[in-house]
């Protein structure tokens, strides 16, 4: 087996890209799907001391199967602590103890603002979405936020229809103006085509790597804002054999991750 097997699917690559942004000892707040897989890949490879919590009130769960929701019954037995929203969202997140959060949404814009509320006008919606849930507080208060998105002109936007969850709002200084905690905000957008980081000065997302089956031109043409390209932009490192082994053998033996292909992550 080579160090980078060729038979991975795109969602597996995306989960690995997410995992690489988790550091050892991070406290990570996760939802289901990508976030849990990414956090667990990290935990089984370079970040063994990372711990996960679910906003529903669970800390350091050891579920016997992949959780299907943030309140899945399988999260109860074996967890280190079970409380509720006040404990996880109030004490831990608002208290400033969460290092890393994962978010996704129907729309993500160049400042990392996320829309999960409405497509179209709020009062005359084209499509009404579920709302914030825990996304707004995670985007506001986690030290680093990793965003997962589809790379097309519907899902990415120059400006989202509705800012449910704050990225850098309207640019440099905006989070500070509103009193959000210092040194917080989105760190990276991982899409099915590329990885984008946020410019320290302009707070705009720019291209740092493109996935193996695409190229800079395609990524730029699929991005609805004038996408800047990092000087050291490169091809995304494919999943390693070890990352894939952990994902397929330990975390997701039934390969539930394939459902993301049906959702367009190809």
Partner 1 sequence: MSKVMTIKDAVEKNINNGDFLFIGGYVCRPPFSAVHEIIRQHKTDLTIARSNAADDFDMLIGAGCVKRFISTFISLGLYGLARCYRRSIEKGIPNKIELEEYTNLSLPMMFMAGAMGMPFVPVKDMVGTDMMKIRSFMGENKYRMIDSPFDGKPVMLVPALNPDVAIIHVQQADENGNAQMWGIGGDCKWGANAAKKVIVTCERIISRETIGKDPSRTIVPAFKVAAVCEEPFGAHPGYTPGFYDVDFSFGYVYQQATNTVEGFQSFLDEWVFGVKDRNEYIQHYINRFGFAQYKKLQARFDYGYPVSYSY
Q: Which residues are catalytic?
A: 55
Report the residue count for the chain.
266
Check: CB of residue 259 under 8 Å from CB of residue 252: no
d(CA 228, CA 205): 8
For the bound state, the minimum distance from the C-beta of residue 245 to partner 1, rounded and expressed in Å, comes to 27
| Closest of 201, 200, 194 to residue 220, by C-alpha | 194
Minimal distance in Å, beta carbon 113 to partner 1?
Answer: 8
| Residue 153 · residue 179 · CB < 8 Å | no
What DSSP string runs through 93-158?
Answer: IITT---EEEEE-SEEETT--EE-SEEE-SSSEEEE----TTHHHHHHHSSEEEEEE--STTTEES
Task: Report CA 128 to chain centroid distance, whole Å.
Answer: 22
Are the C-beta atoms of 168 and 123 separated by less than 8 Å?
no
| DSSP string for residues in 193-205 | SEEEEE-TTT--E
- Smallest gap from Cβ 62 to partner 1, in A, equals 15
Between residues 11 and 238, which has the closer beta carbon with respect to partner 1? 11
CB of 54 to partner 1, least distance (A): 8
Residues that bind partner 1 (CB under 8 A): 54-58, 68-73, 75-77, 82-87, 89-90, 93-94, 113, 117, 122, 125, 127-137, 140-141, 162-166, 169, 174-175, 177-181
Cβ neighbourhood burial of 47 (10 Å; 0-12, 13-18, 19+): buried
Q: Which three-class secondary structure state does DSSP give residue 187?
A: strand
User: Helix, strand or coil for residue 237?
Assistant: coil
Residue 67 or 219: the one with the smaller Cβ distance to partner 1 is 67
- CB of 15: closest distance to partner 1 in angstroms? 19
């Amino acid at each position: 087996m080579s160090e980078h097997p060729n038979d991975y699917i795109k969602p597996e690559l995306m989960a690995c890209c997410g995992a690489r942004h988790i550091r050892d000892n991070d406290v990570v707040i996760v939802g289901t799907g990508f976030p849990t897989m990414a956090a667990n890949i990290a935990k089984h490879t370079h970040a063994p001391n990372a711990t996960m919590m679910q906003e529903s009130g669970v800390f350091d769960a050891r579920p016997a199967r992949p959780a299907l929701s943030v309140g899945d019954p399988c999260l109860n037995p074996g967890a280190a602590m079970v409380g509720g929203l006040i404990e996880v969202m109030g004490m831990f997140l608002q208290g400033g103890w969460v290092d890393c959060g994962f978010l996704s949404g129907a729309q993500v814009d160049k400042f990392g603002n996320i829309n999960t509320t409405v497509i179209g006008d709020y009062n005359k919606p084209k499509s009404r979405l579920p709302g914030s849930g825990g996304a707004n507080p995670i985007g506001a208060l986690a030290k680093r936020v990793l965003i997962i998105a589809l790379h097309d002109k519907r899902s990415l936007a120059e400006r989202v229809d509705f800012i449910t969850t704050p990225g850098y709002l309207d640019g440099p200084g905006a989070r500070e103006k509103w009193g959000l905690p210092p040194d917080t905000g989105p760190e990276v957008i991982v899409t099915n085509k590329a990885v984008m980081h946020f410019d320290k000065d302009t707070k705009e997302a720019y291209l740092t790597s493109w996935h193996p089956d695409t190229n800079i031109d395609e990524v730029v043409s699929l991005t609805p804002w004038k996408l800047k390209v990092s000087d050291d932009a490169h091809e995304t490192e494919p999943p390693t054999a070890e990352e894939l082994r952990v994902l397929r053998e330990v975390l997701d033996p039934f390969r539930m991750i394939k459902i993301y292909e049906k959702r367009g992550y190809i």
